[in-house]
Chain A
Amino acid sequence: MELKLPVYLDNNATTPMDPRVLEAMLPYFTEKFGNAASRNHSFGWVAEEAVDYAREQVAKLINADPKEIIFTSGATEADNLAIKGVYEMYASKGNHVITATTEHKAVLDTCKHIEKTGGQVTYLNVKEDGLIDLEELEKAITPKTILIAIMYGNNETGVVQPIREISKIARRHGVLFFTDATQAVGKIPVDVNADGIDLLAFSGHKMYGPKGVGALYVRRKNPRVKVTSQMDGGGHERGMRSGTLNVPAIVGFGKACELCMNEMESEAARLSKMRDRLENSLMELEETYVNGSTEHRLPHVSNISFKYVEGEGLMMGFNKNIALSSGSACTSASLEPSYVLKALGLGDDLAHSSLRFGLGRFTTDDQIDFTIDAIKSTVTKLREMSPLWEMFKEGVDINAIEWAHH
């Protein structure tokens, strides 16, 4: 097979849609265009049936009951609905939420929002490997705690939190457990019952489905969990999320879940082998560090810092041919490098020097070979150009220099 360029290694940002998903969706844009809430004609029935079927496909992937699935516009909305919805629904029980500093902005900013309305939030630090400290979690629980919100797999490092241990602690204290599993569902086995999860958010476009669709799982038994609706209107999704259902996207999301269900095991094995090959080859470069636990990690993700070269400058060496992202501030509108990497205790300099590799269903071995060569040669070239590399090589202590910070 011929090498396909450009190489896409930003699958944590979004995945391409699987052609089989598109095929499943197409009829629902045109001839099967009905509103799933139209109860009195065949157009509505066809749409409703398609949504019901998708709901089963989605539920099955996480071992839930279809009635426990609320369709949303994506994981951001599901995160909002879970946190704000629990916060409002359980206000009489308490106002305290526990989360972690490495969560996605959709969780962190939602927590900031509830703080403004009188809520209290504890942001747990993570250890050097990116995992939360379970003892610290348990200690943070107060009689006012109503929710623990800890993500499944991290979007920048791929680090997977000890979900079952967290849920045990939550159960023991009668606190609800919500997890943002956007990066994990479809990539590794996620089972809401075995894992003891009460609410779970995920998204279609991270698993080869369409953008603009996602779901919130809300447990119905042991315990029965309820959330206050954040979108009022026609009372869709059992009153928890009003708005005409996006039928084609939901159909695609369902199909994507089914494909992941069938192919996850072989795909994860294939991708982790490729990821390890990529990582091991790049680690042959001096002064190169993997960020986050390599033991508790999603199979398709690797986050690596190439010390003494800056991430954006590095990507410029190959971004015509390779798409990936960096924790460097120079690539973003903000002036701060990745807060996730900094939470792992990385200095700003190492955070600036990081690249995130997210492999996916359509990544090939040839593309990995190409990537290894391109990155190795660019790092080497830029280090020849880096004053910091020269100092390091001459044994100058870079930390002892008085730098003029802006």
Chain B
Amino acid sequence: MAYSDKVIDHYSNPKNVGTLDKSKANVGTGLVGAPECGDVMRLQIEVDEESGLISDAKFKTFGCGSAIASSSLATEWLKGKTVDQALSIDNMDIVEELNLPPVKIHCSVLAEDAIKAAINDYRVKNGLPELVAEKKAH
């Protein structure tokens, strides 16, 4: 199966690979997937306390090219959004943007899960209730 140019581009030049200090109160960390399933994604957001905007986002991913591309794209989209706006990122937006074939949809679901997990981590750290996300099929 051939990859789309956008997947290849994110894979070859991934944006925002790295690690944020997870002990900071304004950093939210989401770790999703499982090594046994062949995919683990860690996505982190840093929120600017004054503006409420996501000032930085980083990822590290163990997975296929589409999983790497999905998380790279997700970090790009997160930056500059408010936490609430970030919640509205849907995996199908990622599928569309990257032209993922049906067998790779679960890689985008993983990215959405990682965003939600990072936001929840941030919320809990800051005394807000955890959000219960609808479960998407992997």
Contact = CB atoms under 8 A, between A and B. Distances in A.
Nearest to B72: A385
A313 B64 contact: yes
A109 interface: no
Contacts of B34: 403-406
B103 A348 contact: no
B61 interface: yes
Interface in A285-326: 308-313, 316-317
B36 A313 contact: no
A405 B62 contact: no
B116 interface: no
Nearest to B34: A403
Contacts of A316: 3, 8, 11, 64-65
Contact of B35 (A330, A384, A403): A403
Given A316-B11, A349-B35, A404-B34, A387 B64 contact: no
A348 B64 contact: no
Residue among A308, A403, A405 having the largest count of chain B Cβ atoms under 10 Å: A403
Given A316-B11, A348-B38, A405-B37, A387 B32 contact: no
A232 interface: no
A388 B37 contact: no
B36 A310 contact: no
B63 A403 contact: no
A406 B62 contact: no
A349 to B, nearest CB: 4
26 contacts: A308-B62, A310-B38, A310-B39, A310-B62, A310-B63, A312-B38, A313-B62, A313-B67, A329-B37, A329-B38, A330-B38, A330-B63, A347-B35, A348-B35, A348-B37, A349-B35, A385-B60, A386-B40, A387-B62, A388-B35, A389-B62, A398-B35, A401-B31, A403-B34, A405-B36, A405-B37
Interface of A: 308-313, 316-317, 328-331, 333, 337, 347-349, 352, 384-390, 398, 401, 403-406
